[in-house]
């Protein structure tokens, strides 16, 4: 079964994607001030979670009150949220926005969400908890032996294409890909190869910000330091202390996973300066690696129009160029 946006609705949407720290939020907000009746739809898989604000660079409450935002804070961190659920929620939000006479502007960095909205998403067979629990138990045993890549190797044996797209720490999606193969005898990657809509049916305004690599790396490094200084560790502590602690999916978020790993077993412990420096360095490294994967996502989506940005470009200048592209 495949979920797909109605073509007529899709063509009324604007999309602005790009790697983390490239300046999407600032550019989106300025664009919303230039084009009347824009309402922002989050294209970020971690911003859906309540209480995950610092590590996701979520727009502030003041900004959300000034410009309508959608699909922020719609799940608690212990809950799961599938790509198919995102497509369904995004479609409903866009239908309501259009009904008000406004324009949906998708903004964010989750390439999987972007592709799912543009091309649809294959839901696959229902969950088989016997298979999932077996795989999780085997992965846990392997992890106790120090083998944290057991699931990845199992997936590589049956679906190399899917393995190339997933992070070794993304246990939920690794298990799902193996599960689909066991249930259907077909790889998940082959079933998910949705083709783009014909050129005449595609949304006309799908852009991604393509930055200079060194400049982006500097921005990433500065952002991570700023998040730590803003209280990311304390934010994670609170999530771990909740009646329903942060779930596996939310805990895979960049920055969150690394802090959870440090605090595991004693979330009240203080982090010594030396360990904090190591933590910052690790988050910076993994975020730069993630940004590289994001670049690959957008480059390989033929619907996306590349908009080059550099250290000399302000958000105001970039949004001005985008406005010209949209209104021409």
Task: Give me the CATH topology for the region 2-120+194-327.
Answer: Rossmann fold (3.40.50)
Most confident among 48-62, 115-129, 235-249 (mean pLDDT)? 48-62
Share of the chain above pLDDT 70, in %: 98
Model confidence at 3, in pLDDT bands (50, 70, 90)?
low
Give the DSSP letter of residue 127.
Answer: P
Using one digit for the tens of pLDDT, what is the confidence trace for 254-310? 999 999 999 987 777 888 888 999 999 999 999 999 999 999 989 989 999 999 999
Extract the tokens encoding 326: 């949209």
Residue 155's nearest CA partner among 178, 130, 184, 131 is: 178
Q: 36's torsion region: left (phi>0), alpha (psi -120 to 50) or beta?
A: beta
Domain 129-191 has CATH 3.30.2270.10: no
173-184 mean pLDDT: 91
Whether 22 contacts 219, CB under 8 Å = yes
Domains in the chain: boundaries? 2-120+194-327, 129-191
- Of 36-40, 41-45, 106-110, 167-171, the one with minimum mean pLDDT is 167-171
Distances from the Cα of 303 to the Cα of 6, 252, 286, angstroms = 16, 28, 27
What pTM was computed for the model?
0.83
Contacts 24+ apart (CB under 8 A), 227-230: 227/54, 227/55, 227/57, 227/255, 228/276, 228/279, 228/280, 228/283, 230/54
227-241 mean pLDDT: 95
Residue 70's nearest CA partner among 4, 115, 13, 6 is: 13
CA distance 229 to 223: 10
Q: Which residue has the tokens 């939310």?
A: 250
CA distance 1 to 180: 13
Model confidence at 18, in pLDDT bands (50, 70, 90)?
very high
């Amino acid at each position: 079964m495949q979920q797909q946006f109605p073509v007529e609705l899709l063509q009324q949407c604007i999309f602005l994607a790009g790697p983390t720290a490239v300046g999407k939020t600032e550019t989106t907000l300025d664009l919303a001030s230039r084009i009347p009746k824009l309402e922002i739809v989050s294209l970020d898989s971690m911003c859906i979670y309540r209480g995950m604000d610092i590590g996701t660079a979520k727009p502030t409450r003041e900004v959300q009150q000034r410009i309508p935002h959608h699909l922020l804070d719609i799940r608690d961190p212990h809950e799961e949220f599938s790509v198919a659920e995102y497509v369904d929620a995004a479609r409903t939000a866009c239908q309501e926005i259009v009904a008000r006479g406004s324009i949906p502007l998708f903004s964010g960095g989750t390439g999987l969400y972007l592709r799912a909205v543009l091309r649809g998403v294959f839901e696959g067979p229902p969950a088989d908890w016997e298979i999932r629990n077996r795989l999780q138990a085997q992965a846990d045993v392997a992890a106790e032996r120090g083998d944290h890549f057991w699931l990845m190797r199992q997936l590589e044996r049956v679906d190399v294409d899917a393995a190339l797209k997933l992070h070794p720490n993304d246990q939920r999606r690794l298990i799902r890909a193996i599960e689909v193969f066991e249930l259907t005898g077909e790889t998940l990657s082959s079933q998910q190869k949705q083709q783009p809509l014909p050129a005449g049916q595609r949304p006309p305004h799908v852009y991604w910000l393509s930055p200079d690599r060194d400049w982006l790396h500097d921005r990433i490094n500065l952002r991570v330091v700023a998040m730590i200084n803003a209280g990311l560790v304390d934010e994670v502590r609170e999530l771990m202390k909740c009646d329903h602690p942060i779930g596996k999916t939310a805990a895979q978020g960049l920055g969150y996973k690394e802090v959870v790993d440090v605090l595991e077993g004693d979330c009240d412990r203080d982090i010594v300066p030396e360990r904090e420096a190591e933590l910052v360095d690790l988050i910076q490294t993994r975020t730069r690696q993630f940004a590289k994967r994001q670049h690959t996502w957008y480059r390989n989506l033929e619907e996306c129009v590349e908009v080059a940005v550099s250290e000399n470009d302000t958000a105001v200048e970039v949004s001005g160029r985008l406005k010209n592209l949209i209104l021409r």
